[in-house]
């Protein structure tokens, strides 16, 4: 215990940064655990797409989307979803909606905004498009 106190007194900024990161991890864990938005693996996403006609929302920029995206996905920006500009996606409120970003880290906020907009079943794709392509699952190019 004395070693910890000495370390804290010798390195206050590093200790403060560690405490801040610990609080952030705890906060994010609780936020995701109690969220109405679920997280799906690639296998579950494929099942939802094939069996329940799930809608895919790709949050990446237009250039990344053109380089490769999941077939029939809708390219939207998080800011558009936050502002309520969901366009043709509004017709799919009863279908499962899978929100994907590059790595699966930034899509939760957009997914929660879709849930608030009245979408019944909203999910986040675990590991995002990079996880999808990492397992050599098909991506469509262009558009």
Q: Indicate which residue of 40, 81, 86, 101 is catalytic.
A: 101
Report the distance separating Cα 18 and Cα 23, nearest Å.
Answer: 9
- Residue 10: strand, helix, or coil: helix
Cα angle 139, 33, 92; round to 5: 45
With left for phi above 0 and alpha for psi between -120 and 50, is residue 70 left, alpha or beta? Answer: beta
The yes-or-no answer on residue 36 being catalytic is: no
Cα angle 66, 67, 70; round to 5: 75
Report the distance separating Cα 76 and Cα 69, nearest Å.
Answer: 12
Asked if 76 and 58 touch (Cβ cutoff 8 Å), the reply is yes
Active site members? 101
């Amino acid at each position: 215990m004395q070693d910890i106190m000495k370390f804290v007194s010798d390195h206050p900024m590093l200790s403060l940064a560690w405490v801040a990161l610990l609080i952030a991890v705890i906060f994010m864990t609780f936020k995701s655990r109690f969220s109405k938005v679920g997280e799906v693996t690639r296998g579950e996403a494929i099942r939802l797409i094939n069996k329940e006609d799930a809608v895919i929302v790709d949050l990446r920029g237009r250039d990344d989307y053109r380089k490769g995206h999941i077939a029939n996905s809708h390219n939207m920006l998080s800011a558009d979803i936050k502002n309520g500009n969901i366009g043709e996606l509004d017709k799919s409120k009863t279908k499962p909606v899978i929100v994907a970003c590059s790595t699966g880290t930034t899509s939760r906020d957009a997914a929660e905004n879709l849930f608030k907009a009245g979408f019944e079943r909203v999910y986040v794709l675990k590991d995002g498009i990079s996880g999808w392509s990492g397992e050599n699952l098909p991506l469509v190019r262009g558009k």
